[in-house]
Chains A and B, each alone.
Chain A
């Protein structure tokens, strides 16, 4: 049931080789310098990773979202910065255009996005509200003379400030709906494409982050930023529903990325414990170490099954909200726990940035926060079980 077909396996292998041969030797240096790895991204583009789930007529690979997940897992096994760059570019940049864009928007953006030449970003989170969407949203967009006028700010937006960023799709309040049963007026949320360089759209300098240091994350501000009315992505007022779908899918992708990090910890430890000697023998001969690694493998394996299952339901067109939340929760836990154990096994070397496990440790924490915190996942699971809101 959860055996990869020959084609998925060939893709997995292809990305595994790419990660080992192209990413692994150089990524530590980018990470240390907090530099965006343009060269690696260009090579990922050439092998078609940015177009994995997009149809061929738009320059994509004609694969599906699971193919993207397999690629993310293999990249994250070596490095999470490049994995999150791909994840955000495809699920948050290209997929909304593919799914909700007009023919003109697709023609304008998809060929460039699928080739990796251009990155698209998704501006949802705001400084005042992370999980609290749409309640915490303050950014507004109003129509004026055939143009949207956008005001507000966005926080933690991946891929929004690179040299090759083409646009940010900004979620904004575009009006108010009739009050619901509770008598409260709910905001009408829409998504608007804002091309990089539009006057009034300012990109701040990069955040200094604990992890994901070779990825691009920025705070954005919009001050009377004007874009044509045709920049609306999807239907007006459907922004909330659109990004809920985007986030459900994204959870499966982040789960895959987390499994990759968890697997990377196992890989590194297996190598290290056969070399490192203490008290007269390889440390891999000690049961304390063996049990730790066995537990790491268990977490990785079960988390992988959880995301395979969620992806299977998603591709079958069945409801997968609960499975996506479960996959995201168990795999981010697996990543965090494995990173902690791997660092412990490496001892002092685990605390050094030059070793991959040091990077894994720094990169793991965000997985319990981004794309819905662990608390949000538990809330979603409880709701899906019919427990009251």
Chain B
């Protein structure tokens, strides 16, 4: 089975994240780039499916040159090869643009199963899996906490507010996973050393036949017109209970329009 995992490099949530004053997009150089956490679960699930059913796992990432670190991590975990979609024309793409770029690349490299994390810690739109499925004309099985494959049949347990839904489809398909699905492995030294020798193919917009009118900052459907740094948190007020604590608490809540 030909499994492609889409991974994304995001700014480390443990460091301070900034927008760039140049074009109001995320400043990807300001923070350390790390693999998006949910993408690690996607890689793990791909590796598990490969271990059970055979096949090959390809990592696909769209991002600047430094996203190679994220590719290396996924390869060190055990993926077989990678495709790095990198082109200045892609900078500032929104979810629609990104889904076009990734879908075009997926059509080029071929796939039986595409796996993604259900959202990224930077943009958090959580719509990419659905958009990709639509563009590729395949079933979408999103928010999976469990994936089962039997021949060309795929079924998942889709997390809902009240429990889970059982969703079944036929491959090829696009799946997005949640953190309940598995425990991602830590790269071993053998995996790290092996990753050095694994092939990483670089694609530009022309290679993947991406329509440049649909990607990049200029084609984005939303625009950040201005931003301001969040003001530091003001000190809270301490209310002393002199027998009227309840009334004071109610007064506070009313002033904030909670009651």
Contacts and interface: CB of A to CB of B under 8 A. Distances in A.
B193 interface: yes
Contacts of A52: 189
Contact of B186 (A7, A14, A56): A14
Nearest to A17: B186
B100 interface: no
Interface stretch (A61-69, A144-152, A332-340): A61-69
Contact of B193 (A17, A18, A63): A63
A236 interface: no
A7 B195 CA distance: 9
Interface in A61-82: 61-63, 67
A62 B186 contact: no
B76 interface: yes
A62 B185 contact: no
A15 to B, nearest CB: 8
Nearest to A52: B189
A61 B192 CA distance: 10
B180 interface: no
B189 A61 contact: yes
Contacts of A62: 189-190, 193
Interface of B: 72-73, 76, 185-193, 195-196
Interface in A46-65: 46-48, 52, 56, 61-63
Q: Secondary structure of the A side of the interface?
A: helix
Contact of B190 (A15, A17, A18, A56): A56
Contacts of B187: 10-11, 14, 47
A7 to B, nearest CB: 5
B257 to A, nearest CB: 33
Contact-residue size bin, chain A (C-beta under 8 Å from the other chain): 10 to 19
14 contacts: A7-B196, A10-B195, A11-B192, A14-B76, A14-B186, A14-B192, A47-B188, A48-B188, A48-B189, A48-B190, A52-B189, A56-B190, A63-B189, A67-B189
A6 B195 CA distance: 11
B185 A46 contact: yes
Contacts of B76: 10, 14
A385 B76 CA distance: 44
B39 to A, nearest CB: 15
A65 to B, nearest CB: 12
B185 A10 contact: no
Interface string A1-20: 00000110011001101100
A15 B189 CA distance: 10
A48 B76 CA distance: 13
Contact of A11 (B72, B185, B189, B196): B189
Contacts of A67: 189
B249 to A, nearest CB: 26
A150 B72 CA distance: 51
Contacts of B72: 6, 10
Nearest to A21: B186
Given A10-B72, A10-B73, A10-B76, A61 B196 contact: no
A86 B195 CA distance: 25
Contacts of A14: 76, 186-188, 192
B192 A10 contact: yes
Given A10-B187, A14-B192, 4 more contacts: A10-B72, A11-B187, A14-B188, A61-B190
Contacts of B196: 6-7
Nearest to A71: B189
